[in-house]
Amino acid sequence: MTEKYHPPIISLHLNRKGGLVSPDSIDTMQSGETLTWHHINYTSQIAKDWLDQEPRVNEVAQDILLRAETRPRFYMEDSFMLMCLRGVNLNPGSQPEDMISIRLWITEDTIISSCNRHSWSISDIKQALEQGAGPKTSGEFISLLVERLAIRVEEFFEEIDVNLDKQEDTLVGMGFDEFYAQISHLRRQSATIKRYLTPQKDALEKLYRSQSPFITRQDLDNIRDDLDKFTRLLEDIELTRERTIVLQEEYLARIAHQQNSRLYVLAIISAIFLPLTFLTGMFGMNVAGLPGLEQENAFIYVSIFCIVIAVALLAWFKYKKWY
């Protein structure tokens, strides 16, 4: 399965009551009664040409809305706000750490969002609007989008915690290659997501401290709650990193313990056979004068003597609690 197709431009008209304005009623609506939302695919030439013809979007904003790579940020002027946010990529066949970049240009009556891939957070807002339970203002739109992004990241880290729990439960029977492949994948995912969540938290702090006229106190309170959630998520990333390190150390300790146990057994066996090897080597010399050459039961005597030595050594090791 592949990611959903992202059309060049999607334009929606919000009725400021949580729903959408029907196409037949758009012409009859007065100025200020609707909120226009344009969602564009910044990789499409059609979207680029359309944005170039939008007089209110200056060159700096166009560059950020169309740039291939952006870090989370927040920028505000008197008439508009500009934001770059990141969300986990939960599209089928994609890696979650390959985070989706969502850019926003926002005024009191217009929202322009840009993205190059399907975003489930954007889809949640569209679905809420279709059901009449969507955002009513630009500030509420920002608040809802940040909330959905935080929820998706939180769900992803819950899956990481479940995977870590499974690895801790199956640590004993897991092979070396399998363990390191899984643990390295988890650490890489956590490090990549932290790379974007840290500046995103800073951007949300700037948004919370902003004095934008179209962001209400209620919207700021919701953004503050989401900011706390992102802060907790960053702490969860550190916890995940520590858990993977502890899990790796525990696995290495288990391997070292197994190796030491095997080496210890070999050392006990070597200690038992060392005097026996000496005796057999000495009596195996092909020189004249060896005792017992003319004695018929000499081999039996030597064998019994070797057995007595082995048993005595085993008893001595047991007495010393060496095994």
Q: Are 134 and 18 in contact (CB under 8 A)?
A: yes
CA distance 195 to 47: 29
Question: Which pLDDT belongs to residue 84?
Answer: 92
CA distance 204 to 232: 14
Q: Which two tokens stand for residue 229?
A: 């959630």
- Cite the residue boundaries of each domain of the chain with CATH code 3.30.460.20: 9-254
Neighbours of 74 (CB within 10 A): 21
Which DSSP state fits 210? -
Q: Which two tokens stand for residue 160?
A: 């990481």
Pairing type for strands 35-41 and 9-14 reads antiparallel
CA distance 206 to 243: 32
Q: Three-state DSSP class for 132?
A: coil
CA distance 187 to 109: 43
Q: Are 268 and 317 in contact (CB under 8 A)?
A: yes
Q: What residues contact residue 61 under an 8 Å CB cut-off, 6+ apart? A: 80, 82, 105
Distance, C-alpha 33 to centroid of its chain: 42
Pairing type for strands 35-41 and 73-76 reads unpaired
The correct answer on CATH 3.30.460.20 for the domain covering 9-254 is: yes
Per-residue pLDDT of the chain (323 residues; tens, 9 = 90+): 344 546 788 889 888 888 888 766 666 666 667 889 999 998 889 988 999 888 888 888 899 899 888 889 998 887 889 999 998 888 887 777 788 899 999 998 899 999 888 888 999 999 999 999 999 999 999 999 999 999 988 888 888 888 888 777 777 666 777 777 778 878 888 888 888 888 999 999 998 888 788 888 898 899 899 889 888 888 888 888 888 888 888 878 888 888 888 888 888 888 888 888 887 877 777 776 677 677 778 788 888 888 888 888 888 888 877 77
pTM assigned to the model: 0.75
Q: Three-state DSSP class for 103?
A: strand
Q: Are 283 and 290 in contact (CB under 8 A)?
A: yes
